[in-house]
């Protein structure tokens, strides 16, 4: 009963790993509790978005992930 | 072959894609191609682009579809590198073909502005003291605003 959490860009450096497993079900409060405070503060900022199973959430605070889901923490992009 | 969108993890030669793309659209009036490469900078040893598979390619495909509809294109080719690159290597290739030149030129400009500031890529560069993540630039967002 786990949710896979994927860290992108500089968040992977901050987290110290590209991904981690957390217990399901996972909502916003549980995600923030599972991360260290500095990281959680970064996540709460306006610029970081969250996707669940490839769909970007309009409001990340409504996060609700179940067993087998994959969520991605997405910092601002810099491509091209 | 109205839409050809690819993510590549190895170096590529733009002409290998542009030739077949152009040939696949007989009757076109114009084809416009942009190639972005790793800029020369003595302090930068290497560039690395990471992506997130569930979002990156689908996002590029949606962007190409939007450009095709908005600029009445016959086709759009979009190729983007991931992984590690050195100075002079192509990072991105966008090519559009249309009945008339204006649509092809504008579509490439539109696609590049969106790739730079909205596509799901994260860039970092390696300097003498290690890797540095590149933050988005204000100019990129200003470029995007041109199309609103």
Q: Do B118 and A70 touch (CB under 8 A)?
A: no
How far is C-alpha B1 from the chain's CA centre?
18
The alpha carbon of residue B136 is apart from the nearest alpha carbon of chain A, in Å, by 5
Q: How high does pLDDT run on average in chain B?
A: 95
Q: What's the CATH number where B26 sits?
A: 3.90.1170.40
Which string of b and e fits B53-82 if b means at least 16 CB within 10 Å?
ebbbbebbeebbebbbeebebbbbbbbbbb
Q: Do A76 and B136 touch (CB under 8 A)?
A: yes
> For A2-74, which CATH superfamily applies?
Beta-grasp domain (3.10.20.30)
Is the minimum CB–CB distance between A72 and chain B shorter than 8 Å? Answer: yes
Range of B95's domain? 3-145
The alpha carbon of residue B98 is apart from the nearest alpha carbon of chain A, in Å, by 23
Residue B131 has pLDDT above 70, yes or no: yes
Phi, psi of B29 (to 5 degrees): -100, -25
What confidence tens digit (pLDDT) does each residue in B61-86 have?
A: 999 999 999 999 999 999 999 999 99
Nearest by CB to A79, from B49, B133, B135: name it: B49
Q: Provide the ipTM.
A: 0.92
Q: Given this model, what pLDDT does residue B1 score?
A: 59
Domain total in chain B: 1
């Amino acid at each position: 009963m786990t949710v896979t959490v994927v860290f992108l860009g500089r968040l992977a450096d901050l987290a110290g790993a590209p991904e981690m497993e957390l217990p399901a079900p996972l909502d916003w409060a549980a995600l923030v509790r599972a991360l260290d405070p500095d990281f959680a503060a970064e996540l709460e900022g306006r610029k970081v978005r969250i996707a669940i199973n490839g769909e970007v959430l309009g409001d990340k605070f409504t996060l609700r992930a179940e067993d087998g889901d994959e969520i991605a923490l997405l910092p601002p992009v810099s491509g091209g | 072959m109205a839409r050809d969108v690819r993510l590549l993890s190895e170096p590529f030669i733009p002409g290998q894609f542009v030739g077949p793309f152009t040939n696949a659209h007989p009757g076109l009036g114009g084809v416009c191609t942009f190639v972005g490469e790793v800029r020369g900078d003595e302090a930068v040893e290497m560039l690395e682009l990471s992506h997130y598979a569930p979002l990156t390619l689908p996002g590029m495909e949606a962007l190409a579809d939007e450009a095709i509809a908005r600029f009445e294109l016959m086709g759009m080719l979009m190729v983007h590198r991931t992984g590690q690159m050195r100075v002079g290597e192509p990072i991105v290739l966008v090519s559009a073909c249309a009945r008339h030149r204006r649509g092809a030129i504008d579509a490439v400009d539109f696609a590049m502005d969106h790739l730079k500031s909205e596509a799901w890529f994260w860039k970092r560069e390696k300097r003498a003291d290690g890797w540095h993540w590149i933050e988005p630039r204000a100019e990129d967002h200003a470029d995007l605003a041109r199309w609103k």
